[in-house]
Amino acid sequence: MKKSRLFAAAAFGAAIAVSMASGAQAVFYYELRYQGTMSSATTVTDTSGNLNDGTVASNHGGTVTSVIDAGTTNPYLHFSGNACAAPPLPALPSCEQSKITPAVSSTLVPNSSGAGTFAFGASVRIHSGVVNPTAGMNVFQYGLYGAAQWKVQVDALTPSCRWADGTNEVLLKATGYTLPDNTWVKMKCSRLSATSFELRVTDPATGSLLTPVVTTTATMGAIVPTGAATIGAKSINAAKDDSVTDQFRGDMDDIFFHRD
């Protein structure tokens, strides 16, 4: 994939100014950014400058590896295995499982005690014959359903974002859009104001929209998840299949969380 590294030239951990239509300047700060590099077989490198590296957990032979396609120079993360359903009882599944957990999750909270604007997302590439086209696959989430949470996922090959404060929730889907085979797609979920939310699906190489921007307004309080953020799966459980763990299958790059 030929990807833009426009923002990578900024100093690690530095704030980056982005021009707004009004002429004002919004500044965001990468709290975490994984751009496909690993320092070991189980450690994903954080390039934000915050040293918030990710640790790979796995089961049944699952792996996360750093890969560079022939003819390119940009690494990405590959999650191994094929779609895996539960076998007939009494047999137990033996699905390849893998996920990444950042060293520190408590920093992945918006400013203003969780009420500030923020964004998160990743670029993904899926391959037919490897994924279940009806499955739910977690990309990046912090917090669990029923509590405070932010989350980007792929459900039935359709990107979606979820935000929740523990009482109110917003779910945005790129309805009508299906991830193409063997093609990089960037998904970005943003809380733009106290009541405004957005999902953008773009070509990561050009920034061009691949489907219309999805927006909504809704009541939402502070979003302060607890527990541990996860990338690539909701959980690792040797006795469960993909329908429970929401295992991601395929390639992932430029995983990020930033606060405004």
Q: State both tokens at 154.
A: 């792929």
pLDDT digits (tens, 9 = 90+) for 112-164: 999 999 999 999 999 998 999 999 999 999 999 999 999 999 999 999 999 99
Mean pLDDT calculated for residue range 175-184: 97
Asked if residue 40 belongs to a domain, the reply is: yes
CB-based contact 238:59 (threshold 8 Å) = yes
**Per-residue pLDDT averaged across 220-234, rounded?**
97
CB contact burial 33-66 (16+ within 10 A = b; e otherwise): bbbbbbeeebbbbbbbebebbbebbbbeebebeb
Which band of pLDDT confidence, cut at 50, 70 and 90, is reported for residue 12? Answer: very low
Residue-range definition of the domain harbouring residue 101: 6-259
Look at the chain and report how many structural domains it folds into.
Answer: 1
Judge residue 89's burial from the number of C-beta atoms within 10 Å of its C-beta, 0-12 exposed, 13-18 middle, 19 or more buried.
Answer: exposed
Query: 65 near 56, Cβ under 8 Å?
Result: no
141 part of a folded domain: yes
Residue 150 lies in a domain: yes
The pLDDT of residue 29: 79
Residue 128 lies in a domain: yes
Whether residue 71 lies inside any domain: the answer is: yes
Write out pLDDT tens, residues 82-114.
999 988 888 889 999 999 999 999 999 999 999
CATH number at residue 125: 2.60.120.200
Task: Flag whether 163 is in a domain.
Answer: yes
Full-model pTM: 0.89
Cα 139 to Cα 72, 91, 212: the distances in Å are: 24, 28, 21
The secondary structure element, H or E, covering residue 243 is: helix 242-245
Cβ-contact 138, 246 below 8 angstroms? yes
Is residue 1, in this structure, part of any structural domain at all?
Answer: no
